[in-house]
Structure 1
Amino acid sequence: MSFSKNLKIEAYDSWEKGFNHPFIQELGKGILAKKTFQFYLLQDYLYLFEYAKVFALAAAKSDNEHQLFHFVEAQYSILATELDLHRQYMLDYAIEKEEFNTVQPSFYNRSYTANMLAIGHSGGVAEIIAAILPCAWTYYDYASRLKKR
């Protein structure tokens, strides 16, 4: 069994608790309150800037051209695609442009991104990957499962 699968088995209870969280379930059913989604969009918008910085740190610590290219490409995708998508969603959900630039990160957002950035500064490529993968893995898994419904 792969290392990743072992990790997922070990984290099963937490993983499922996340999937069964009311936010995820209501989002999947299309019944999430507009205010809640607006808050999420703004917080995720802030998160993406910090997430992109972690990819920059990974790129700077890359051991080879392949790693460097991967991290720079991922960072570019965040900055050029995901942030634009968020801006459009925020406008679609009646969030004023001024709020994009004035919103402050929540305690949880700040804590999570500060931890990722600290790992980015102090760790190597492997540690940075370990810090960023849970986000990608859970988003992919949760979205895949919700899509099947």
Structure 2
Amino acid sequence: MSLFERLKASAADDWNAYVDHAFVRGLGDGSLPGAAFRNYLVQDYLFLIQFARAHALAAYKSRTLADMQAARGGLGAILDEMGLHLRVCERWGLSAGEVEATEEQQATVAYTRFVLDIGMSGDLLDLQVALIPCTLGYAEIGRRLAPDGVDAIPAGHPYRDWIAEYSGEAFQQAGVAAHAWLDDLGRRYASDNRYPELVAIFRKASRLEADFWEQGLEAA
């Protein structure tokens, strides 16, 4: 079993609370209030700024060229995702200036600073375990919400563009690359003695993801 699958199994309750949150179900069936999605869009953009910093930190923490290249790939995927967010925000009447001028809310700060703190205090494996719920959780959610492909989602679905992004080939391939890199790091740096600490990081990051969804719902 891969390191990621072991972590998921060890933190199953927290993982499922994240990927099967009411916010996610609302995205899937289109019932999510627009106010919740607008709040999420803005906060997720601010969130991604900090996650871009974390991926840059991963490059600094890398000791091999291959790891630096993997970190660069993760950073590139985040920057592409930020572009999508601004385009979706514009369709919801939110300008880039408005988004960037908004203050980070509590759940945004809690999650992003947790990841950055893990990155600063730990090694590359610790940081990747803190980052991976975001990448692979969104990839799993994308597959769940578009099991038959995005073309099967009605054109009038309010969140079709969002689902298309995370179920699409580009993001899914970014998830495959992140999964492979984590497992490679695990083979090199993980140990049985270290595993409980990695589970604790993974579990906390998954809970913070669920809190981030909840923050959006509370805004509605």
TM over 0.5: yes
1:146 aligns with 2:165: no
Distance 1:52 1:76 in 2: 9
Q: Structure 1: which 5+ residue stretches go unaligned?
A: none
2:9 pairs with 1:15: no
Q: Partner residue of 1:33? A: 33
Alignment-mate amino acid for residue 16 of structure 1: N
> Which amino acid is 1:98 matched to?
G
Identity level (%): 32
- Give structure 1 regions of 4+ aligned residues with deviation exceeding 3 angstroms: none
Residue aligning to 2:88 = 89
Is residue 2:99 matched to residue 1:100? yes
Gaps of 5+ in 2: 149-220
Offset of 1:29 from its aligned partner?
0.6
Post-superposition offset of 1:148: 1.9
Deviates more, 1:15-24 or 1:42-51: 15-24
Spell out, residue by residue over 1:33-68, the C-alpha distance to the aligned partner (whole angstroms, 9 max, x if none).
111111010011001110000011110111111111
Cα displacement (A) at 1:101: 1.9
Using CA pairs under 8 Å that are at least 6 residues apart, name the structure with larger relative contact order, 1 or 2: 2
* Alpha-carbon separation, structure 2, partners of 1:74 and 1:40: 22
TM-score with structure 1 setting the length: 0.91
Checking the alignment, whether the CA contact within 8 Å between 1:19 and 1:25 is kept in structure 2 is: no
TM-score (norm 2): 0.63
Q: Partner amino acid for 1:88?
A: R
Single out whichever of 69-78 and 57-66 deviates more from structure 2.
69-78
Q: How well do the aligned residues superpose, as a CA RMSD in angstroms?
A: 1.5
- Structure 1 pair 148/47, CA: closer, same or farther in 2 (3 Å)? same
Does the Cα contact within 8 Å between 2:46 and 2:100 map onto a contact in 1? no
Which has the larger displacement, 32-41 or 68-77?
Answer: 68-77
Q: How many residues align?
A: 148
